[in-house]
Amino acid sequence: MARRRLTFIAVATACGVFALAAGLAGCGSSSQPPVKSTPQAPGGIPRGRPQVVQPTAGQQGVVVAGNGSGDPIGDPNAHAPSDAEIRGELRQELVAAQKTNATYINPLRYVTVWERTDQGVDAVMPVGAPILAPCRIKILAIEPNWYAGQPLVYWELLEGPDAGRVQFVAEQITAIAPPGSILQQGQPIARFAPSGTAIEFGWATPNGVTLARATTGYEEGQFTPAGSSIRAWLNAVGANAGPDRH
């Protein structure tokens, strides 16, 4: 999967339908007071007590290599925000989250194929399967055209030993929770789309680039310590992502 510089913008309308179901119960024991989810709007995230999420049964996601012109499926006209816009959004949305003893759940429990380690971890899921909030999180921003017109969403972990750190998932995703949303553990961040270039899950930074690019740089397909780190994190929360693949 080709990559370009990670940029973000809080543009909820550019990311499709926000058809999100409620997830599992909130994070483990925490010293933080509970934060209510954003009230439901048409197509938005749900209110009320989180419930167990089961993905809609469907065919295996189609991973495409191109659209006939050598480019993956996507919206080539999607707007990429400027660095100044991204920094402004980050300042508005970031929370001074404190570390707690809360535990994380596996956000990628429905993965059927684990792929390479690069600036994150690549994976394939059934169509409609959710990417789940590993704990209470805040959706920070959405970049509608991260790669070949496919979006990226990133969020801040609000609990647990990694509170304050930023993660992302990108590419073959749809039904993304809108920026500013507070999701409880187990609620869907996004869902696996019917077509695209699979997903990328990894660490991000508050200055609008992936951790891989910020620390060691990144060229397409290159193995990075940041990618290895997120695979180890996924394995630690029970994802069974296996060893690094180059």
- CA–CA dist 112, 115 (Å, integer): 10
Fold of 1-18+79-246: Glucose Permease (Domain IIA) (2.70.70)
The predicted pLDDT at position 239 comes to 97
The predicted pLDDT at position 62 comes to 46
H/E segment holding residue 140: strand 137-147
Residue with tokens 């749900």: 46
CA angle 239, 209, 125 (to 5 degrees): 30
Q: Which residues of the chain have pLDDT under 50?
A: 2-62, 64-76, 78
The predicted pLDDT at position 207 comes to 82
The predicted pLDDT at position 66 comes to 42
Q: 178 CB contacts (<8 Å, ≥6 apart)? A: 10, 12, 18, 38, 44, 45, 139, 142
Burial of 52 (0-12, 13-18, 19+ CB in 10 A): exposed
Contact 226, 168 (CB under 8 A): no
Q: 43 CB contacts (<8 Å, ≥6 apart)? A: 17, 18, 19
Cβ burial 56-65 (10 Å sphere, 16+ → b, else e): eeeeebebbe
144: left (phi over 0), alpha (psi -120 to 50) or beta: alpha
Q: How is residue 205 written in tokens?
A: 């930074």
The predicted pLDDT at position 172 comes to 98
Residue type, 208: G
The predicted pLDDT at position 235 comes to 98
What is the distance of C-alpha 215 from the center of its chain?
20
Please report, for residues 6, 32, 105, the alpha-carbon distance to residue 35 in angstroms, rounded to integers and kept in the order given.
29, 9, 18
Please report, for residues 93, 162, 230, the alpha-carbon distance to residue 116 in angstroms, rounded to integers and kept in the order given.
31, 24, 12
